[in-house]
Amino acid sequence: MKKRVIIDTDPGLDDALAILFALGCGRFEVLGLTTVGGNIGLDRTTLNAGGLLAVMERGDIPVIRGSDVPLTREQQDIIAIVHGADGLKGITLPEPLAPASDGASAWIASTLAVAEPGSIDILALGPLTNIAHLVTEHPEVVGLIGEIIVMGGTLNEPGNSGPNSEFNFATDPEAVSVVLGSGAKVTVVPLDVTRKVRAQLDYVEALPDTPHGTLAREVLGQYMQDGRQSRALHDPCVMLLALEPGIFRLEKLALDVDLGEPPDAGRLLLDKRGSLVNVALCVDAERALALLRTGFV
């Protein structure tokens, strides 16, 4: 059976790779893409999500706009160095095949409400604002979620937003706190793991000449445009863990999140009073990359 998922996303170069893999590997039933402001603003993340679906000729999958601002704090200045002002460093996608709708958290709630309990997972690739709205505005469906798999945070690796904080979690720390404490099954995939799964140039060049494989090569080429010989594949790790958790070593940890001011906002804290969640701590990077390749055939 295919794994039924909702992808909450802010595409984004590595989001694009994750979405293309999910649509191309044949092992997911993607029910919808819900968009959030993160790597870039909401209008652009929504347009990019629709464009990626168009590449895969999947106009049947809805795109639903969510939140453009964090729960309680001001939006961070968006830095376009990595992803470019359009999120894809100038890569042109086709026009969406269908218009996006509004109300991501309400749409997720209604989708969960009519599904078999535990049959739908949420794969969260960006800031957790939409999922926090779901938890606070529709608490009756939280117990119906199979699992929320989140790319975010760091434990022992240096941060990419502050010295000890990761971008997704630093963008909306209050949302992280809500989701971790929601009572849902939550698995966190931090920088400690995602930085171990790296695409080298030879890996990129060997991706197949399918429409989405060709686009993946272009995306990774832009990702490496700063002269790097490899790039960490952060968001695709969420998809890989959803399919093959045995590739990763998971441990239950009690976590809290720093709700202070930058640069420590969003920092993960080991705290026995925190919420008990699954955390990916190690990964077999070779197996992860081999699995990822299968999604572009």
Residue 214: CATH number of its domain = 3.90.245.10
CA 239 to CA 256: how far, in whole Å?
24
CA 282 to CA 155: how far, in whole Å?
12
**Which residues participate in catalysis according to the annotation?**
234
Number of other residues whose CB lies within 10 A of the CB of residue 239: 29
User: Which neighbouring-strand residues pair with 254?
Assistant: 276
Span 156-167, pLDDT tens digits = 999 999 999 999
User: Residue 80: what pLDDT?
Assistant: 45
Q: What is the mean pLDDT of residues 93-102?
A: 97
Residue in the structure block whose two tokens are 């160095």: 81
Instruction: Residue 56: give the domain boundaries.
Output: 3-294
By three-state DSSP, how is residue 169 classified? Answer: helix
Span 228-260, pLDDT tens digits = 668 899 999 999 999 999 999 999 999 999 999
Distances (CA, A) of 227 to 92, 207, 220, 223, 230: 22, 20, 12, 9, 9
Span 137-184, pLDDT tens digits = 999 999 999 999 999 999 999 999 999 999 999 999 999 999 999 999
Walk across the sheet containing 268-270 and list its strands: 101-102, 63-65, 28-35, 3-9, 120-124, 145-151, 186-189, 275-283, 248-257, 268-270
User: Which neighbouring-strand residues pair with 102?
Assistant: 65
Residue in the structure block whose two tokens are 């991501």: 104
**Number of domains comprising the chain:** 1
